[in-house]
């Protein structure tokens, strides 16, 4: 595998590879520990412009029933009317509205995140991990990203008070992305 040093050669259309991508999150639980989870079913596309990164775009569609925190009971609760109401709102979507280079391998993509039918802006900081041709001849790019949101901004307000003070589930949720995308022919 060889790394491509010239970003201009990366310009093109890409499809996110779900087998090599993680769309994850972390929430504080009971004020003392972090619970991590991810979504197992999603699709997305990138348009990369290596010459003018501001012209780059991204879309992501996540199937909310695919949530996985390692606990079937907790996953069932997250799918219920207390949280994601997956029967009524089966998808979470992201549509970029702008992209910018922050210098070096760092970028920021801003867009509209829709959860429970509510759309709000979010900015995701991304680090470009590189580009390579895999053993099957696919041109790949990789990015790691992170963002923080307040779940209450999307109407996710269920909680339980703790005897010792505080709440069971934090309002602040950390999002993390480890993205591998394949260039379309």
Task: With beta carbons less than 8 A apart as the criterion, state whether 67 and 75 touch.
Answer: yes
pLDDT at residue 164, rounded to an integer? 63
Give the chain's residues under pLDDT 70.
Answer: 1-6, 29-32, 158-169
| The pLDDT value given to residue 7 | 72
- This prediction has a pTM of 0.87
Q: What pLDDT does residue 33 have?
A: 72
pLDDT value of residue 30:
55
Whole-Å CA distances, 22 to 3, 7, 34, 66, 68:
22, 23, 18, 12, 11
pLDDT for the residue 1: 39
Residue 167: the pLDDT is 53
């Amino acid at each position: 595998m060889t790394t491509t040093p010239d970003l201009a050669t990366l310009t093109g259309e890409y499809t996110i590879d779900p087998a090599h991508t993680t769309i994850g999150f972390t929430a504080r639980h009971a004020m003392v520990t972090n619970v991590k989870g991810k979504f197992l079913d999603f699709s997305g596309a990138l348009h990369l412009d290596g010459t003018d990164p501001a012209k780059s775009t991204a879309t992501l569609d996540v199937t909310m029933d695919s949530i996985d925190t390692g606990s079937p009971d907790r996953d069932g609760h997250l799918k219920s009317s207390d949280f994601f109401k997956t029967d009524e709102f089966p998808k979470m979507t992201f549509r970029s509205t702008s992209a910018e280079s922050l210098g070096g391998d760092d970028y920021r993509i801003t867009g509209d995140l829709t959860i429970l039918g509510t759309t709000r802006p979010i900015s995701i900081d991304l680090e470009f991990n590189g580009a390579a041709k895999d053993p099957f001849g696919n041109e790949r790019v990789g990015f790691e990203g992170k963002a923080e949101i307040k779940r209450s901004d999307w109407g996710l307000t269920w909680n339980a008070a703790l005897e010792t003070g505080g709440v069971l589930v934090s309002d602040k949720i950390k999002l993390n992305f480890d993205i591998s995308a394949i260039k379309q022919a």
